[in-house]
Structure 1
Amino acid sequence: MLSKRSLVGIQWRFQTLAVLFFMLVGMSVYAADPAVSTSEEAISAGKTVFNANCKQCHKLDQKSVGPALRGATDRQPLDAVKAFIKNSSAVIGSGNAYYTALYKEYNNTVMPAHEFLSDGDLDNLLAYIEHGDKVDPNAAAATATAGGGAAGAGGGIPSEYLSIILGVLVLVLLLILVVLGLIINVLTKYINKQDLSEEDKDFVSQKSDFGKVLKSDAFVIIITALVVALVAKTAIDGLYSVGVQQGYAPAQPIAFSHALHAGQLEIACQYCHTGVEIGKSANIPSANICMNCHTHVQNVQGKEGISPEIQKIYNAVDNNQPIEWVRVHNLPDLAYFNHSQHVAVGGIECQTCHGQIQEMEVVAQHSALTMGWCIDCHRQTEIATEGNAYYDKLVQLHSDSKDALKVKDIGGLECAKCHY
């Protein structure tokens, strides 16, 4: 028989072991709690997800259409953040106080659901949100200062300085001519004082007869040749410019700013021009694409009421009428061009052909878009063969050449490529 004291000792030991057991279980559960990844691979994959789904409305460290995203997992549990990304309406409807307040702060703007994102996509997205593209303010300031100095030292001579330099050079040339004239005058007077023969005096004292020069056959022939060459060049330049709309910047029915949308807000070109990666045409955006954002964004931040330009979008939707955008870039019907072939397959950036579109308030045609311009590009552009098995055989056949595989080497200069 066990004594009472022994039973108490056994009970105490059992309780101690139970406490230790539950502490270990709790620590293991806490340790197994999923954390945001810091791997470069996850951050890189997350940036792709962010650019495709979030960049239009969010930035990492400052407010845009929506709130800044950095620190989202500090403000709410990880599972809650994932659930909100997948279906914000459901989380708000469940009574989550934080997200309900956020919903009201942004004028009851509903974030689109992202049910199609897998758990892996969400993990990568949060890895990028929390750890991607971090900027040290002190380093950024130092870089900006250094960059400003570099620009001042090696950024070239400003145009106003060039004008001043040219003006000074012209003035110097005029002064040289004046000095030469004075020297000739002094020398002439000095020579005339010498004991010269009549023939030498006549030679020294002779004056130029510009009338005879202007009437001479040589002068007439030279001037005639110059005029004919100038007229011919002007005519040829005019013929070559037929159909070339470089610099064309028409006024649009709505004053849409690419500098604001593509530049400041960093909205990807593919968001509005939906066909650029999948079809021949990039597509001019319809009013419903505008309304994806402007259902909630009705004016410039800090102003009240609907702005006049955004009101035009509402009018088009209410009246079921398309916005009659004026086309800027237009190739002739005899030429075939496929956006997806260049953007999706060739990896060509929009700016290559359209210029710094993210800086344009009014879109203008940047490139000539002539046949010569296209052919020159095909002669210089290298094929992006890495990771594309389609080109393996061509790369193998081209291996004997010292030059890289370019578009011209795969038929890029054949007439039927663009004309058929």
Structure 2
Amino acid sequence: MSIKRSLTSVPVKLSTFMMLFFILMGTQVFAANPEVSDSEEAISAGKSIFNANCRSCHRLDQKNVGPALRGVTDRHSIDWTKSFIRNSQALIASGDAEAVAIYNEYNQLVMPSHEFLSDDDLMNLLAYVEYGDKADATAAAAGEGGAVAAGGAGVPSEYLTIILGVLVVVLLLILVVLGLIISVLTRYLKSQPLEEDDKEFLEQKFEFKKILRSDAFLVIVTALVIAFVAKTALDELYTVGVQQGYAPKQPIAFSHALHAGQYEIECQYCHTGVEIGKSANIPSANICMNCHMHIQNVDGKDGISPEIAKIYAAVDNNQPIEWVRVHNLPDLSYFNHAQHVAVGGVECQTCHGPIEEMEVVYQHSSLTMGWCIDCHRQTDIRADGNEYYDKLVQLHSGSKNALKVKDIGGLECAKCHY
């Protein structure tokens, strides 16, 4: 049972931290070992193992926390590679020159053993390492320049504000020009022979006080004030209980941009309950220590960083880290993470936004009832390969429209309200 769990997104130990961490540095131009299968089935199975145990520290075609892995079987024998993956410390203790060299090169960091992986598991892992996700190699070759170019699309909100300001200035200039034109035309007409009525019209004076005292002006101003007050009151009423944008200060300055973004640690590694229960679970200090018993500093500085020191203090004092909850639903609402993530296949970013880009986590979505209902109305059911939906798909087969959440009771009150 432990092996089966290790091959899915549910992590075992922190094999994630340094699975294959020390497997050879070297050139990334290689001829893949013919002993490694290139079948889609083996690559797919290997990808699951890689994501569960290696992805937090490794990429296939570029360095991350650990070295790039593609081509490892060209740089080492398969038997040596499998021995290193299973128990790197045993190989180092035996005096193996290559293992010792890698161990010393990476500051003698310890990689946990992975003896739970069978030979078939290891060969599938190597199949993915050698043949999987070839598109990653192209992305790595493109370098940071390509990433900057791709990220440059779109107009920042600051620019939009400047554009609107320029438009307002242009409108004011147009009004000034119209005023000058009227002044010039008035002077010209006064110099011409005109009838008495026309002269009287041209010579009449503009009295601003009369406009301010007119009934029409008072009605317009009163209507605008009432409309503004009513709109403000309605907006405030609609935001009661809505915490969109809420970003509380946490006891430890944890960066999702670093962990989930740069290092691509799976959300499920820290939030262990997201696929098996109602709550996603806030990670304990022990989960943090799986990595930080090896990583103690930041930016190459000596000593333990102040934020990481807080984790050590929590463990030493046997006290939980008092994280501040960001996403809050009212007690009258029921939401089950496992139902959405494991069964529905909903990505974390669908509700939580670009979490991998957040230095400080904030509530991205409104999480209102209307927001949830709109999602249930628009979202197609991912029924392919999911036996949970077989009967529902069969019942819906007579319809020409795609099966959506609303078609399986997603709009029923009792689904979310007890």
TM over 0.5: yes
Aligned residue among 195, 205, 217 for 1:207: 205
Asked if the contact 1:379–1:408 (Cα under 8 Å) also holds between the matched residues in 2, the reply is: yes
Amino acid paired to 1:42: A
* 1:141 pairs with 2:142: yes
**1 CA distance for matches of 2:119 and 2:307?**
40
**1 CA distance for matches of 2:256 and 2:147?**
29
Residues 145/82 of structure 1: CA separation in 2 closer, same or farther (3 Å cut)? closer
Residues 125/354 of structure 1: CA separation in 2 closer, same or farther (3 Å cut)? same
Give, in angstroms, the shift of residue 157 of structure 1: 4.6
* 1:241 pairs with 2:228: no
Aligned residue among 167, 171, 174 for 1:173: 171
**1 CA distance for matches of 2:50 and 2:143?**
28
Q: CA RMSD in A?
A: 2.6
1:301-330 CA distances to partner (integer Å, 9 max, x unpaired)?
A: 532111111111111111111111111111
Residues 104/195 of structure 1: CA separation in 2 closer, same or farther (3 Å cut)? closer
TM-score after normalising by structure 1: 0.84
More displaced stretch, 322-331 vs 79-88: 79-88
Instruction: Show the counterpart of 1:402.
Output: 400
> Percent same amino acid among aligned pairs?
75
Asked if the contact 2:292–2:308 (Cα under 8 Å) also holds between the matched residues in 1, the reply is: yes
Instruction: Show the counterpart of 1:378.
Output: 376
Asked if the contact 1:280–1:340 (Cα under 8 Å) also holds between the matched residues in 2, the reply is: yes
Instruction: Show the counterpart of 1:196.
Output: 194
Residues 165/336 of structure 1: CA separation in 2 closer, same or farther (3 Å cut)? closer
Instruction: Show the counterpart of 1:55.
Output: 55
Long gaps (5+) in structure 1:
1-32
Instruction: Show the counterpart of 1:127.
Output: 127
Asked if the contact 2:87–2:112 (Cα under 8 Å) also holds between the matched residues in 1, the reply is: yes
Instruction: Show the counterpart of 2:358.
Output: 360
Alignment of 1:257-296 (within 5 A): 257-296=255-294
Instruction: Show the counterpart of 1:18.
Output: none
Instruction: Show the counterpart of 2:90.
Output: 90
**2 CA distance for matches of 1:390 and 1:138?**
37
Give, in angstroms, the shift of residue 143 of structure 1: 10
1:168-210 CA distances to partner (integer Å, 9 max, x unpaired)?
A: 4334333332332233223323333444343332222212322
TM-score after normalising by structure 2: 0.84
**1 CA distance for matches of 2:316 and 2:143?**
51
Asked if the contact 1:65–1:297 (Cα under 8 Å) also holds between the matched residues in 2, the reply is: no
Amino acid paired to 1:275: G
**1 CA distance for matches of 2:395 and 2:299?**
58
**1 CA distance for matches of 2:343 and 2:398?**
25
**2 CA distance for matches of 1:146 and 1:354?**
23
Aligned residues: 385
Asked if the contact 1:86–1:115 (Cα under 8 Å) also holds between the matched residues in 2, the reply is: yes
Instruction: Show the counterpart of 1:6.
Output: none
Give, in angstroms, the shift of residue 231 of structure 1: 0.9
Give, in angstroms, the shift of residue 74 of structure 1: 3.2
Asked if the contact 2:61–2:137 (Cα under 8 Å) also holds between the matched residues in 1, the reply is: no
Residues 157/74 of structure 1: CA separation in 2 closer, same or farther (3 Å cut)? closer
Alignment of 1:322-341 (within 5 A): 322-341=320-339
Amino acid paired to 2:333: A
SS of 2:112's equivalent in the other structure is: coil
Residues 94/404 of structure 1: CA separation in 2 closer, same or farther (3 Å cut)? same
Instruction: Show the counterpart of 1:103.
Output: 103
**2 CA distance for matches of 1:313 and 1:46?**
33
Residues 271/207 of structure 1: CA separation in 2 closer, same or farther (3 Å cut)? same
Asked if the contact 2:245–2:364 (Cα under 8 Å) also holds between the matched residues in 1, the reply is: yes
**2 CA distance for matches of 1:391 and 1:128?**
30
1:375-415 CA distances to partner (integer Å, 9 max, x unpaired)?
A: 11111111001112332332233233332111111111111
Residues 168/108 of structure 1: CA separation in 2 closer, same or farther (3 Å cut)? closer
**1 CA distance for matches of 2:300 and 2:140?**
31
Asked if the contact 1:355–1:366 (Cα under 8 Å) also holds between the matched residues in 2, the reply is: yes
More displaced stretch, 213-222 vs 241-250: 213-222
More displaced stretch, 375-384 vs 186-195: 186-195
Amino acid paired to 1:35: E
**2 CA distance for matches of 1:411 and 1:252?**
38
Structure showing greater radius of gyration is: 1
SS of 1:122's equivalent in the other structure is: helix
More displaced stretch, 373-382 vs 76-85: 76-85
* 1:343 pairs with 2:341: yes
Would you tell me which structure has more helix in proportion to its own residues? 1
Instruction: Show the counterpart of 1:112.
Output: 112
* 1:71 pairs with 2:71: yes
Asked if the contact 1:256–1:362 (Cα under 8 Å) also holds between the matched residues in 2, the reply is: yes
**1 CA distance for matches of 2:342 and 2:193?**
89
Amino acid paired to 2:317: N
**1 CA distance for matches of 2:147 and 2:293?**
43
Instruction: Show the counterpart of 1:10.
Output: none
Instruction: Show the counterpart of 1:16.
Output: none
Residues 40/199 of structure 1: CA separation in 2 closer, same or farther (3 Å cut)? same
